[in-house]
Amino acid sequence: MSVRIVISALALALPLASSSLAHAQDSAEKAKAVTEEGGKHFDAEGNPTFKIENGAVDWYTFSGYRRYHSDCHVCHGPDGTGSSYAPALLNSLKTMDYATFISIVAEGRKNVGGGKENVMPAFGENKNVYCYMDDLYVYLRARADGAAPRGRPPKKADKPQAAKDAEASCMGG
């Protein structure tokens, strides 16, 4: 292979790599927690987000991990990595906004194409999912940004009173 071809290939790949790195940095900056209320963290746009310090995840990220592995991993694979049945949510959450996520989880989605039909059922009536949609979003956002590793978080914050109150209110307890 000539040196010219190698240099040309590198010249083409470099902007793509730096663009990908810039996108990852933009995503991480966008997900940065800037406010906190009742133990729940929010980004600059007011969307729920994660906070991970010294290897300990906030309560809502941990709750999202638990809820994801209770109701979502069967189709979307362990830790949001996808399966032959449903897409990797780690990829989706890199570009999907909060409102779209909530809408899809609540109302479901149907994709038909190439002789294949994929159906995401609606979970708007399932309190075990609906009451924890923010938690699911926060967990998957942390996974998509690479802030949360695969598997059960080794350390977590205690469950805040606000989370207990919201859960009791939503679940009817």
Pair 113, 68 in one domain: yes
Pair 17, 77 in one domain: no
Q: Shortest CA distance to 64 belongs to which of 163, 125, 146, 138?
A: 138
Q: What is the pLDDT of residues 158-173, one digit of tens each?
A: 999 999 999 999 998 6
Q: What is the pLDDT of residues 109-122, one digit of tens each?
A: 987 777 777 788 99
How crowded is residue 72: how many other Cβ atoms within 10 Å of its Cβ?
A: 20
Q: Own/partner pairs for 152-157, CB < 8 Å, 24+ apart?
A: 152/65, 153/56, 153/57, 153/61, 153/62, 153/65, 154/55, 155/54, 155/55, 155/56, 155/57, 156/56, 156/57, 156/58, 156/59, 156/61, 156/62, 157/39, 157/56, 157/57, 157/58, 157/59, 157/62
Instruction: Please check whether residue 58 is in contact with residue 51, taking contact to mean a CB–CB distance below 8 angstroms.
Output: yes
Pair 3, 26 in one domain: yes
Pair 43, 105 in one domain: yes
Pair 3, 43 in one domain: no
Pair 103, 128 in one domain: yes
Q: What is the largest CA-CA distance in the chain?
A: 71
Pair 6, 64 in one domain: no
Pair 53, 102 in one domain: yes
Work out how many domains the chain is built from and give that number: 2
Domain that holds residue 167: 33-171
Examine the pLDDT at 157 and tell me if it is beyond 70: yes
Q: What is the pLDDT of residues 60-108, one digit of tens each?
A: 999 999 999 999 999 998 988 888 888 889 888 999 999 999 999 999 9
Pair 113, 159 in one domain: yes
